[in-house]
Every structure is written in structure tokens, then in C-alpha cells.
A and B are shown apart, each in its own frame.
Chain A
Amino acid sequence: MSLDLFFQYLFAGITYGSIYAIVAIGFNIIYNATGIINFAQGEFVMLGGMISISLLQFMPLPYAIAGAVAITMAIGALIEILFIRWLDSPSVLRMIIITIGISILLRESALHIWGESIRSLPYFYGNEITTFSLGSVHLSPQVLWVITACAVMVCGLSVFFKGTPLGREMRACAANRTAAILCGINTRNMVTLSFMLSAGIGALAGCVMSPITYTQYDSGTSLAIKGFTVAILGGLGNSMAAVTAGILLGILEAFSVSVVPLAFQDAISITILLIILFIKPHGLFGSSEAARLKDF
């Protein structure tokens, strides 16, 4: 393999990986606050893309994206209030089934609202073929937007959770719910807030990746599966680990093209997931103690 080809695979892998990572971050927020894996996270990503494309007809791009994020956050809050809020200590099984049901509903609603055609946002900078080159390797500027968004999210969340009072309240809620209630924190609202935050992050992810991947009513499903593969790979609840795991998985998939027929590419990520689950279920960078701590 020539050095050129190596770098091309590497950057292709970073492209995939950043997309997976950005979806995985959303999972971790809800998981930490509630212990729920939200199977509907992929639909938030899809909704962000779809809504922003619809809004684009009426307003310029930055406002359309902001609008989409806001609306998706509202949808996230609505879902939490309608379906999750009034369950008292539901079992894991029940929560999994409910979130799967929610994801199906969101997907079918998107089908009936927007139809089955694909859409996308325009490239933020340049068009479909602008690239800038590092040597002989070309990278689309949109990929940089995705990576930047990823980095901004991780940093922003870090600041939010460690620096702001609201963030600290959420962490308290995640660490020990009873103690948080005793401290006067409204844990129910914290759960709603975590859903809103996850939905907003998902929506932003959807907007940023839409020019690369296109958005369709069912693009949420496969993204969700990749997303929580990556989240589990990194260790549920740890966003930095999720990003690292995402990039690693993306690179692995890209390089696998050179040895394995492309048709089996998806099977590779699932196989890795299964191996990790069997050997080290708390993820590459996690441990059962870290999982108990549930730190963002």
C-alpha cells in the first residue's frame, strides 16, 4: 500500500469516524442522566437534517440550522414529557422497548411528512467538489466542519457540566438521584433537560453531516446502530472515549476495504461490538467503577 493510499484511507476513516462520534455523544448524555439508552437518538439526527432543509426555504442557512436545533430540542422535551416522565422506576426492558417504539414512530412520521426522497443541506463552504489538498490527499471542507462540531460539542459539554450550575446539577442527578432530590434539585426537570440537550446535539450533528451523507426518512436507523456501537466501544457514558472509539472504528472500516469485500463492511463493526461486549462490556476505555460513577 503506497503512502498516498494509506493517507487516503486514513482520512476516509476520519470522515466516517467523526460522523459516528458525533452521534454517540448524544447517547451518552441521556444515558448518564437517566440510565436509558435512547434508541431514538438516530431519529433526532435525521429530524435535525430534515427540519433544517425545510426551514432553508424561508431563511438563510445559519438561522435554518439554529431553528432546526431548537425545534428538535422541543421535540425531545415533548417525548420525555409524554412518554418517559410518568413512569416510576421502569425496568430496563421496558425502557428499551419504549424508546424503540418512539424511534419507529418518529421515522414513520417523517416518511409521511416528507416522503421518501433524499434531501441535503448545501455545503457550508464551497460545493460538492471543492476540496483542499494535503499533498495528494484531498479532504472536503465539510468533513472539517463535522470534526469541528464534534470538538466544539465535547468542549462545550465539558464546560457546561463542570462550570455551570445547571450542568453540575445534572451531574449530581446522574451520580446519585436520591441525594440530588435531597439537595433540592428538581430531578424530573433534569431528565427533560438531558433529553433536550441530546436532541439538540443530535440535530446539530444531522445538519452538519447532511451535505456529506444526505438525509432520508430512514437515515436515522443505521446511524443509531453505529452510534451506540461506538458509545459502547468507548464505554457508555464517556463522551471523550466515544469520540476516540468512533474515530478508531471509522479508520478500521476504511482500511478493511483493502482486505475484505466491501459488502461485509457493516458486519465488521457489529462483530467488533459483539467481541467487546463479550470480553470487555464496559468498553475499551471504561471499567465497571467508571460506569458506576457515570461522569460525563
Chain B
Amino acid sequence: MKKGIKRIVLGSAVSCLLLVAPLHSALAGTIKVGAIFAVTGPASFLGGPEARSAEMVVEKINKAGGINGDTIELIIKDSAGSSEKAVSFAKQLIEEEKVVAIIGPSTSGESMAVKKIAEEGKTLLISCAAAEVIVDPVAGYVFKTPQKDSFAAQKIFEEMQRLKISTIAIAAGNDGFGKAGKDQLEKMAPAFGIKVAAAETYDSKATDLSALVAKLKADASIQAVINWSVVPAQAIIAKNMRQAGWQAPLFQSHGFGNIKYAEAAGAAAEGIIFPCGRLLIVDSLAANHPQKALLLQYKNEYEAKYKEDASAFGGYGFDAINMVVAAIKQGGNDRAKVRDAVEGLKNFTGVGGIFSFTPQDHNGLDIDSFAMLTVKDGKFVPYKGQ
């Protein structure tokens, strides 16, 4: 008897605690923006910088007095890369916190899981994930900031055509980033007359890839390797290739775009060619380049505040929050108006490129958002072709 009552009391206490409606009512003059990032977990290389960039922007705006007098409250939810948490947080942010927009999630799997929820909840979602399916087919409320992987692939293949490379191998990590890239590469290779002799997926946490390199090197027809992953694998494969004495050109994804990664690969990084946003070569941009001022500002502020190198990944989050801010300036705290404002953005300067959205194009970037970079003497320099 006692046990039963004890349970009822415990149960009621727990439920009371859980169901007390949020005591903090929306203060007059606060606009809530939601964010779902994979700050911890296997995708933390994406979510960590994205969350930090977004926080940096919001802090700066609030210090300067907010937008038209309203302070922005950024609610960041850590999904740790799991789609069920992303689903739960998306519903929570839309219905409970009543945010005007959501930025993120960081990975494609999560973005696809919440795409429908954002659409049905009529809340703007600016995803920081790369998969093309996020904006194709286009959903009215869903946008994305990362450049298209197909553009990256295109730039790489164009360069290969110039270098007269016709047979290649593709190696990709088994995470969402690697999968998206590999899909695009395999799809587009035939159009450039390039034959993919081998396409392998490896564990993104692999500690050594010498066996894979041995297998690829043994195939004499392979003239170049494209690797699509993030650290540590992208540094490991570079080292393993050069250690095996294989001097074939190594192309990497834009995931290589952080000077720390070039340092990690050390001497093996020399000569790696990869497409990237212009953040990393901002110093060599012409003074009147439309992105230069913003890139320098982002780089300096991020590095000063967080004591770590700025990366293109953080840029995705930076661009997303800036778009929301610009939209709020136009549309206030109204979800529909904010969405329309984002869709109407033209020539919006971002870290990833210059965005121009249309009702059919919710990514807003063209192939020009990528520049080809290479590593020389341990530094990133624009790739001028050999």
C-alpha cells in the first residue's frame, strides 16, 4: 500500500516539475531564434564552430542595442548528431519557444528529419548541412547555407580535365559529409569523361589507411585520388599516400579548409588541391573583392574571441544567423514575413559566397563561390594550375 502511494506521489511530483509552463514569459522586446547544432558527438567539427559563430554574432548585436530595440535570444540545442533529438528539439523550438526561425541542423540526416516539421510548422529553417536533397525538391520554408557539393565536384573535375587526368579513385568517410560528397562525385564524373576506377568508404575514425592506399596504388590506371572526409582521416590518407611513395595528385574536399588541418598533415599536405570558400585566402584577395571585408571581420572576430582558427564550417552558421538577422530587420517577429525576407535576399555577402535566393533556388550560391586552393610551404595559397 505504502509503495503504491509512494509511487503516485513520486509520479505526480515528477510530472508537476516537468509540466510547469515556462515561467519566463517572453519579455517585451525579445525575439527568439532557435538553433539546433551538433555541438558534441561525431559531428562536433561542424556544430561546435557553427554554434560559436552564431553566439558571437548575437552577442555583438545585442551589445549594440539589438534590432530595432529588440534583443535577440538565441536558443541553442545540442543534438549531438542524432536525428531523433533534432526532431524533438525542432518541435520544441517551434511550438513551445515559438521561435521566429531555426538555424541548423549541422548534418544532412538531421536536416532531412526536420525538413517536414519546419514546413508544417511554417517556420523558417536555414540548414547548415550540405546535402542537395535539403533544398531539392524545394520546400518553402527550408534553406541552406553550405555551397553545393556538386559545384565542388565540378571544380575538381574541371581541373582534372585540364591536367588530362581520366581515371581516378574516390575515398570518402562514412559520415554524412563523406556520403554526400561521394554521391555527387560519382554522379558527375561521367559528364567530364572521367572514369572512377575505385570508390571506397572508410570509417571516419580510422586510425590508419595504409591498406587502402596500397590497394589503390596497385591499380596502375589510377592517376589521381579524391578524398572526401574531415579530420583526422583527410590528414591520415595524405600521409599514407606520401609515405607509400605515391606522388599522384590528391584532391580533397572543402572540409580541408582549416589551416590546422594542413598543419596536421604537415609535409604530406604539400600540393593538395581543394575547392573552398575564400575565407582561407582572404589576405590574397583584391582589395575591392565584395567578400573581403566580411571575411576579414569574421576571421578576426572569431579568432580573437575563441582563440582558434576560423573555418568554413563555422562560416555556415555565421551566414545562417546573419540571414535571419537581416530578415528580422525587415519582417520583425513574424514568421511568414521573415521567410519572405530571406527568400528575397539578393547579393547577400556571406562567408560562403554571395547569396541570391529565388523561390526555386534556396541555396543561393553559384559555382563562383568556390575558389581552388592548394598548400605551399604549409600555407594556403590560391591554386594557379600547374
| Residue pair B207, A117 in contact (C-beta under 8 Å) | no
| Residue pair A115, B308 in contact (C-beta under 8 Å) | yes
Within 8 A of B (CB), among A127-145: 127-129, 131, 133, 136, 138-140
Please, what's the 1-or-0 string for B230-250, where 1 marks a CB less than 8 Å from any CB in chain A?
Answer: 011001101100111100000
Does A238 touch B at the CB level, under 8 Å?
no
| Residue pair A214, B243 in contact (C-beta under 8 Å) | no
| Residue pair B264, A214 in contact (C-beta under 8 Å) | yes
| Residue pair A257, B212 in contact (C-beta under 8 Å) | yes
| Residue pair B218, A129 in contact (C-beta under 8 Å) | no
Give A181 Cβ to nearest chain B Cβ, in Å: 41
Please, what's the 1-or-0 string for B307-342, where 1 marks a CB less than 8 Å from any CB in chain A?
Answer: 010000000000000000000000000000000000
CB-contact partner of A216 in B208, B232, B267, under 8 A:
B232
Give B27 Cβ to nearest chain A Cβ, in Å: 30
Note all chain A residues with C-beta closer than 8 A to B208. 12, 15-16, 19, 212-213
CB-contact partner of B201 in A2, A16, A136, A261, under 8 A:
A261
Please, what's the 1-or-0 string for B200-236, where 1 marks a CB less than 8 Å from any CB in chain A?
Answer: 1111010110111011011000000000000110011
Does A253 touch B at the CB level, under 8 Å?
yes
Note all chain B residues with C-beta closer than 8 A to A108. 40
| Residue pair B210, A214 in contact (C-beta under 8 Å) | no
Stretch from A81-89, A191-199, A262-270, A281-289 contacting the other chain? A262-270
| Residue pair A138, B243 in contact (C-beta under 8 Å) | yes
Note all chain B residues with C-beta closer than 8 A to A111. 40, 44
Does A209 touch B at the CB level, under 8 Å?
yes
CB-contact partner of B210 in A11, A127, A218, under 8 A:
A11
| Residue pair B200, A120 in contact (C-beta under 8 Å) | no
Q: How far is the CA of A138 from the CA of B217 in the complex (A)?
A: 13
| Residue pair A129, B260 in contact (C-beta under 8 Å) | no
Give B334 Cβ to nearest chain A Cβ, in Å: 36
Note all chain B residues with C-beta closer than 8 A to A223. 207
Q: How far is the CA of A136 from the CA of B217 in the complex (A)?
A: 12
| Residue pair B215, A128 in contact (C-beta under 8 Å) | no
Does A244 touch B at the CB level, under 8 Å?
no
CB-contact partner of B218 in A2, A118, A266, under 8 A:
A2
Closest to B244 in A: A138
With an 8 Å Cβ cutoff, the count of chain B residues facing the other chain is 37
| Residue pair B268, A254 in contact (C-beta under 8 Å) | no
Closest to B265 in A: A128
Q: Assuming the A-B contacts A8-B244, A214-B236, are A257 and B48 also in contact, with contact meaning beta carbons closer than 8 angstroms in the complex?
A: no
Note all chain A residues with C-beta closer than 8 A to B242. 128-129
Does A9 touch B at the CB level, under 8 Å?
yes
| Residue pair A265, B260 in contact (C-beta under 8 Å) | no
| Residue pair B308, A214 in contact (C-beta under 8 Å) | no
- How many chain A residues sit at the interface, stated as a range, is 35 or more
Q: Assuming the A-B contacts A129-B242, A138-B243, A265-B202, are A15 and B232 also in contact, with contact meaning beta carbons closer than 8 angstroms in the complex?
A: no
| Residue pair A257, B236 in contact (C-beta under 8 Å) | no
Q: How far is the CA of A28 from the CA of B238 in the complex (A)?
A: 34
Does A32 touch B at the CB level, under 8 Å?
no
Give A101 Cβ to nearest chain B Cβ, in Å: 17
Q: How far is the CA of A49 from the CA of B371 in the complex (A)?
A: 36
Within 8 A of A (CB), among B112-170: none
Q: Assuming the A-B contacts A117-B308, A263-B174, are A12 and B207 also in contact, with contact meaning beta carbons closer than 8 angstroms in the complex?
A: no
Q: How far is the CA of A213 from the CA of B236 in the complex (A)?
A: 7
Note all chain B residues with C-beta closer than 8 A to A4. 218
Does A13 touch B at the CB level, under 8 Å?
yes
Does A38 touch B at the CB level, under 8 Å?
no
| Residue pair B207, A8 in contact (C-beta under 8 Å) | no
Closest to A13 in B: B211
Does A5 touch B at the CB level, under 8 Å?
yes
Q: Which of A5, A115, A117, A255 has the most CB of B within 10 A?
A: A117
Give A134 Cβ to nearest chain B Cβ, in Å: 12
Q: Which of B42, B48, B208, B235 has the most CB of A within 10 A?
A: B208
Within 8 A of B (CB), among A243-286: 253-255, 257-258, 261-263, 265-266
Does A222 touch B at the CB level, under 8 Å?
yes
Note all chain A residues with C-beta closer than 8 A to B238. 128
| Residue pair B207, A209 in contact (C-beta under 8 Å) | yes
Give A8 Cβ to nearest chain B Cβ, in Å: 4
| Residue pair A118, B211 in contact (C-beta under 8 Å) | no
Closest to B198 in A: A262
Q: How far is the CA of A116 from the CA of B200 in the complex (A)?
A: 26
Q: How far is the CA of A219 from the CA of B207 in the complex (A)?
A: 9
Q: How far is the CA of A135 from the CA of B40 in the complex (A)?
A: 45
Q: How far is the CA of A276 from the CA of B264 in the complex (A)?
A: 38
Give B115 Cβ to nearest chain A Cβ, in Å: 26
Within 8 A of A (CB), among B176-209: 200-203, 205, 207-208
Note all chain A residues with C-beta closer than 8 A to B202. 262-263, 265
Please, what's the 1-or-0 string for A1-25, where 1 marks a CB less than 8 Å from any CB in chain B?
Answer: 1101100110111011001000000
Q: How far is the CA of A15 from the CA of B244 in the complex (A)?
A: 13
Give A143 Cβ to nearest chain B Cβ, in Å: 9
Note all chain A residues with C-beta closer than 8 A to B215. 5, 257-258
| Residue pair A222, B268 in contact (C-beta under 8 Å) | no
Q: How far is the CA of A8 from the CA of B242 in the complex (A)?
A: 14
Give B46 Cβ to nearest chain A Cβ, in Å: 10
Give B313 Cβ to nearest chain A Cβ, in Å: 11
Q: How far is the CA of A129 from the CA of B243 in the complex (A)?
A: 5
11 contacts between A and B (CB under 8 A): A8-B217, A8-B218, A8-B244, A117-B45, A127-B266, A129-B242, A140-B243, A214-B231, A263-B174, A263-B203, A266-B203
Partner-B contacts on A (CB < 8 A): 1-2, 4-5, 8-9, 11-13, 15-16, 19, 108, 111, 115-118, 120, 127-129, 131, 133, 136, 138-140, 209, 212-214, 216, 218-219, 222-223, 253-255, 257-258, 261-263, 265-266
Known: A216-B231, A257-B212, A262-B202. 16 other contacts (CB 8 A): A8-B211, A11-B210, A12-B208, A115-B308, A116-B44, A116-B48, A117-B45, A118-B231, A129-B266, A133-B245, A138-B243, A138-B244, A262-B212, A263-B174, A263-B202, A265-B203
The 9 closest A-B pairs by CB, nearest first: A12-B210, A213-B207, A8-B214, A214-B232, A128-B266, A116-B44, A254-B211, A12-B211, A257-B211
